Amino acid sequence: MVSGRVPRRQRRDEHGASAVEYALLISGVAVVLVLVVFSFGGVVKGIFSKTCSSVQTRASTTQTCS
């Protein structure tokens, strides 16, 4: 006769599954962050360059924006 109950030893095998799930979730978030940074990196650099040029023009200094 086959019992419908799962032995206790087999139920404990899922103990480390939550750590793996958290690791996958964190790596997924990291991938999304990297994609966002690379996607908007040029836009942010352009905004900072325009701001630096504007400040440099108004301040009339000899330093350049890098």
Q: What is the per-residue pLDDT for 41?
A: 86
> For the chain, what are the domain ranges?
23-51
Query: Averaged over 42-64, what is the pLDDT?
Result: 81
Q: What is the pTM of this model?
A: 0.48
Q: What are the residue ranges of helices labelled H in 1-65? A: 8-11, 17-59
Residues in the chain: 66
- Report pLDDT digits (tens) over 1-34: 555 676 665 555 666 678 889 999 999 999 999 9
Q: Which distant-in-sequence residues (6+ apart) come within 8 Å of 65 by Cβ?
A: 49, 52, 53, 56
CA distances (Å), origin 19, targets 15, 25, 27, 32, 60: 8, 10, 12, 20, 57
Query: Averaged over 36-57, what is the pLDDT?
Result: 88
